[in-house]
Structure 1
Amino acid sequence: MESNINETKYRKAQDRVVKLKRFYGRVFRGILAIIITGAINYYLNEWTHPWFLWVVFGVGLSLSLKAFRLFGTHLLFGKDWEERKVKELMDKDVF
């Protein structure tokens, strides 16, 4: 029974590491794409028309959505936040 639990935890941790590795690869490729398109934009018109900002917006939006899916909502309002808020409200005696 104990070995099954450990094996399950190991597989979940391994899956999480694979997802994190994939996400960091996407971040690197996104930054590389922004640098390349920014350089092309500068070479073509010296940023008089900064069209590469559309690439920045697209890459940023895509990475934000992937990060939200990977890290979940617990970044802002996770279990720790709930516990801290309950303790805070109890200490203030709001009710």
Structure 2
Amino acid sequence: MDYNRAYDRVQQLKKFYKNLFWFGIIAAVIIGNDWFNDGLHYKIFGGHLLLTIWALILMVKAFSLFVFGDEWERKIMDKEAGKNKKTIDF
């Protein structure tokens, strides 16, 4: 992996972990507020919908960062490049 790709990967991981950190803080505030006020009842407009959507986005980002990372992309590209090579018959 060259320097530019490694730098981009580190920046993506940094953004992901920062986003995950803020999600944890905001989730704790929203759920804690609900718990102290009226017990943990699900309210669509009480912030739970926001947390659900944010959690789904984080899951997609995590999946793309950790499952379909650079190694996976490189393997697929090498595999496809190998398929397209044709032997030359003399």
Normalising by the smaller structure, the TM-score range is 0.5 to 0.7
Could you tell me which amino acid in structure 2 is paired with residue 9 of structure 1? D
Q: With CA pairs under 8 Å and 6+ residues apart, which has the higher RCO, 1 or 2?
A: 2
1:58 partnered with 2:53: yes
SS of residue paired to 1:50: coil
Number of residue pairs aligned between Structure 1 and Structure 2:
69
Partner residue, 1:91: none
Corresponding residue of 2:64: 69
% same residue: 28
* Aligned-partner Cα distance in 2 for 1:22–1:62: 13
- Counterpart for residue 11 of structure 1: 4
Instruction: Kindly report the root-mean-square deviation, in angstroms, between the aligned alpha carbons of the 2 structures.
Output: 2.6
One-letter amino acid of the counterpart of residue 26, structure 1: N
Separation in structure 1 between the aligned mates of residue 39 and residue 6 of structure 2, nearest angstrom: 47
- Deviating above 4 A after TM superposition, structure 1's stretches of 4 or more consecutive aligned residues are none
* Residues 7-55 of structure 1: per-residue CA shift (max 9 Å, x gap): x8011111111110110001111111110100111122122x2335434
SS state at 2:2 partner: helix
TM-score by length of structure 2 reads 0.60
SS of residue paired to 2:42? coil
Runs (5+) with no aligned partner, structure 2: 76-90
**Unaligned stretches of 5+ residues in structure 1:** 1-7, 80-95
- 1:34–1:55: 8 Å Cα contact kept in structure 2? no
